[in-house]
């Protein structure tokens, strides 16, 4: 046990399919017990031999509206759906944004979704950012959700991204092993931090070099928020078009970071077979690559 760690942080590390905000809500509602006691403060710090019991309440009735939004379903069966999310689409509803999300679309196109993540995130096992395009796996029942979440926890899911970054990366390949946590000053950002950071590992290799730009393949060993964006900025190669971690002035209009989740592979929850799916780079990304390539050739 990580003695001295905040309770919500400790539980989030053990059950990483639960967000810290959700865990804090469970503490407030008395759904978490420490040594049989439900009256716990949010900032409680765990100590050796603490007996922690977490009760996940029954999901509320779904209140998010199903919407007839076209989505690119790559694969679907009774347990899982693999979707190719377009750039600009939010994965799940959040305060102030309850319509037009991938979840709204999934509720229309799929009869069933897992209930583990409750009203707002039914079926959602993992996320990609609004302006990141590419593949997501979605659970259609709780058994499948638990299986996929466990694979994520064990870092056994194969997730490969394509990204265009600033700078000419000299190495053919490399590994970034640097913990990621909330930025100590700007709480809207993530950063490489020593204190309260979670283990984060990204492997990358260079696909093409275009002068002051590099096209890379990034493979996630872990899955922290904004991991590739934070790690590439950390080594001074921020993603082209990244509005949070990138350069203030860009030569191209990108509508967000040039990042695409190209490949996802996992063990099927029921069949027990490894399945892998690929999604081609979308048109908006291809156009930027061609523009950069032409710019490079003119020099």
If one counts every other C-beta atom within 10 angstroms of the C-beta of residue 143, the result is 14
Q: Are strands 259-267 and 133-139 parallel, antiparallel or unpaired?
A: parallel
Asked about 129 being catalytic, the answer comes back as yes
| Helix, strand, coil content of the chain in percent (nearest 5) | 20, 30, 50
Task: Enter the DSSP assignment of 158.
Answer: E
Q: Are 200 and 219 in contact (CB under 8 A)?
A: no
Backbone angles phi, psi at 195, to 5 degrees: -90, 125
Task: Enter the DSSP assignment of 222.
Answer: S
CA distance 71 to 96: 22
CA distance 98 to 235: 36
CA distance 220 to 201: 7
Residue 3 Cα distances to 6, 48, 50, angstroms: 9, 6, 9
Q: Which of 58, 72, 79, 129 is catalytic?
A: 129
Q: Are 166 and 240 in contact (CB under 8 A)?
A: yes
Backbone angles phi, psi at 32, to 5 degrees: -125, 130
- Give the helix ranges, DSSP H, for the chain: 7-14, 20-28, 102-109, 142-153, 227-234, 283-297
If one counts every other C-beta atom within 10 angstroms of the C-beta of residue 163, the result is 26
The residues assigned a catalytic role are: 129
């Amino acid at each position: 046990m990580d003695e001295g760690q905040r309770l919500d942080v400790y539980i989030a590390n053990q059950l990483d399919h639960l967000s810290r905000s959700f865990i804090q809500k469970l503490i407030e509602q008395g759904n978490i017990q420490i040594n049989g006691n439900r009256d716990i403060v949010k900032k409680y710090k765990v100590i050796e031999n603490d007996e922690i019991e977490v009760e996940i309440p029954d999901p509320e009735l779904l209140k998010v509206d199903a919407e007839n939004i076209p989505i690119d379903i790559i694969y679907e069966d009774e347990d899982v759906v693999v979707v190719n999310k377009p750039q600009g689409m939010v994965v799940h509803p959040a305060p102030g944004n309850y319509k037009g999300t991938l979840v709204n679309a999934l509720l229309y196109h799929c009869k069933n979704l897992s209930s583990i993540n409750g009203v707002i995130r039914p079926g959602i096992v993992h996320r990609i950012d609004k302006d990141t395009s590419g593949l997501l796996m979605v659970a259609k029942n709780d058994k499948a959700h638990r299986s996929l979440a466990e694979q994520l926890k064990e870092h056994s899911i194969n997730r490969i991204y394509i990204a265009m970054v600033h700078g000419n990366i000299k190495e053919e390949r490399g590994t970034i092993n640097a913990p990621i946590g909330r930025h100590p000053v700007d709480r809207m950002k993530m950063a490489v931090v020593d204190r309260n950071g979670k283990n984060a590992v990204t492997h990358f290799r260079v696909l093409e070099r275009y002068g002051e730009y590099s096209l890379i393949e990034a493979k996630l060993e872990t899955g922290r928020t904004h991991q590739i964006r934070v790690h590439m900025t950390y080594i001074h190669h921020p993603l082209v078009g990244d509005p949070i971690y990138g350069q203030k002035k860009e030569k191209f209009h990108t509508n967000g970071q040039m990042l695409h989740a190209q490949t996802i592979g996992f063990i099927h929850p029921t069949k027990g077979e490894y399945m892998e799916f690929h999604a081609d780079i979308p048109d908006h990304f291809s156009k930027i690559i061609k523009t950069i390539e032409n710019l490079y050739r003119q020099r």
